[in-house]
Structure 1
Amino acid sequence: MSVIVVSGTGTEIGKTVVTSAIAAAAAAAGRSVAVLKPAQTGLEPGVPGDAADAVRLAGPSVTGVELARYPEPLAPDTAARRAGMPTLSPDEIAGAAAELDASHDLVLVEGAGGLLVRFDGAGHTLADAARLLGAPVLVVAPAALGTLNSTTLTAEALRARELAALGVVIGSWPASPDLACRCNLADLPASSGLPLLGAVPEGSGVLAPQEFRAAAPAWLDPSLWGTWSVQSFLAAWPAP
């Protein structure tokens, strides 16, 4: 894998922290890593965005690139239209990722919100960019009640488009998981048909960068350059 597309089942579920963790783990394993954020919404110019956060957490050896920024916290197409700014096409996203791929071992393309959020007026989405790249998609999902439906819908959308799905990473695993969270550990793979490839503890994004980098591999499966074991995690958090 040289390019991985990171998509969520929604917004504010830990996509950037998961992307940063993968970047940190891969960099620690000796890979050169780039993080591409095609569309950053909800931030004014000069404010650090998701790509900058990934570099801060994963380390200065990671390359961070942002293609477009829109000030309102909306879907990229809507935010661009309201701001009177150009939208992004799948070709532009795929071209930028391919350019980074030529000089890095791993390129992580972090989407905006969910898989089918519109990037332009023609209705193109992150899925279209993934198809152009021929890249697998990693799904970031929450742990709480409701995640089975949204994760399974995302998995079905990937299969309908004949896109490869790597698996699911829980974006924010609570310190005191409730019954739904603990049941979802076993139910997510059964419902979505995707393997569970990691769980990032809640609050990890506010760790000091060096602490984040040291801990990141323990949150991720070996396929994502980590040391996390799904069997051990399930044993640690069995459903009551």
Structure 2
Amino acid sequence: MTVTYVTGTDTDVGKTLTTAALAAALAASGATVAVYKPTQTGVAADGHGDVDEIARLSGVGAVHEGIRLGEPMAPRAAAQLAERELPDMQLHVDRIMELAASHQHVLVEGAGGLLVELDGHGRTLRDVAAETQRLVRTRFVVVCRSGLGTLNHTRLTLEALRHKGHHTPALVVGSWPATPSTIERSNLEALQNQAGAPFLGSLPAKASELDPSAFRQMSPHWLNLPAWARADQP
């Protein structure tokens, strides 16, 4: 079993679509997959959140979240406005481990970037991962932008992960344009050759607009799953 944390170099970089594509690709390989989002902030007018979008696109039914807050803000600020208390980190750890007991892969989608605070004590997705790492194989996928500034943001995120013992996080470009600029093509080459960070692939821009069946069919072609993600791995 493997717990894979999907974080981003920033907000709105494509974490939800990447999580959906990973879930679809893993399911297509024959693996059992669950998805957990510790904190959802900001929802559509119809109440549609990230886990709902992941379920719609990937077809994976085991999708769960820790808390849902209406304002599209950092979790602590959104919870204060809603006059609600954020779940303690241990609740998230327990939920993740419950899912890991019955699924080969658990995908955990963070909120915003890596060091966004998820509970009232300032603990982050990296801290949640540190706890599950004691119990089960734990991996990180970092979703990054294609445009200007992405190399610095990506390297800062990788450095923050490696500082806590996550030495080989994988990279995904969350939205690759149909007509990339010279800067974007240069960035892609640099990301593909980032030392110690396997490059899994890129999701095309507007992938969310595809019919779910097409999304599921294309996900294994967009993302090159590493060996540890194969369904036949213990």
TM-score, with length taken from structure 2: 0.90
Partner of 1:175: 178
Identity %: 44
Partner of 2:163: 160
Which moves more between the two structures, 42-51 or 122-131?
A: 42-51
- Counterpart amino acid of residue 119 in structure 2: D
Q: List gaps (5 residues or longer) in structure 1.
A: 227-240
Is the 1:152–1:192 Cα contact (8 Å) retained in structure 2? Answer: no
For residues 60-139 of structure 1, the aligned pairs below 5 Å read: 61-134=60-133, 135-139=138-142
Is the 1:148–1:192 Cα contact (8 Å) retained in structure 2? Answer: no
Q: Distance in 2 between matches of 1:72 and 1:157?
A: 27
How far apart are residue 165 of structure 1 and its match? 3.7
- Tell me if 1:41 matches 2:44: no
SS of residue in 1 equivalent to 2:169: strand
Is the 2:167–2:196 Cα contact (8 Å) retained in structure 1? Answer: no
Is the 2:85–2:120 Cα contact (8 Å) retained in structure 1? Answer: no
- Counterpart amino acid of residue 122 in structure 1: H
Q: 2:210 aligns with which of 195, 203, 207?
A: 207
How far apart are residue 103 of structure 1 and its match? 1.1
Question: Per-residue displacement from partner, 1:24-71 (whole Å, max 9, x unpaired)?
Answer: 011111111111011100127961211111111011x43110110111
Is the 1:131–1:163 Cα contact (8 Å) retained in structure 2? Answer: no
Is the 2:158–2:169 Cα contact (8 Å) retained in structure 1? Answer: no
Partner of 2:145: 142
- Counterpart amino acid of residue 48 in structure 2: P
How far apart are residue 193 of structure 1 and its match? 4.2
Q: Distance in 2 between matches of 1:47 and 1:18?
A: 21
Is the 1:137–1:163 Cα contact (8 Å) retained in structure 2? Answer: yes
Which moves more between the two structures, 113-122 or 43-52?
A: 43-52
Question: CA separation of 1:69/1:192 partners in 2, compared to 1, >3 Å: closer, same or farther?
Answer: farther
Q: List gaps (5 residues or longer) in structure 2.
A: none
Is the 2:172–2:200 Cα contact (8 Å) retained in structure 1? Answer: yes
Q: Which runs of 4+ in 1 moved over 3 A?
A: 189-193
Partner of 1:195: 198
How far apart are residue 121 of structure 1 and its match? 2.9
How far apart are residue 9 of structure 1 and its match? 0.6
- When the two chains are superposed, the root-mean-square deviation of aligned CA atoms in Å is 1.8
TM-score, with length taken from structure 1: 0.88
Aligned length: 225
- Counterpart amino acid of residue 70 in structure 2: P
SS of residue in 2 equivalent to 1:97: helix
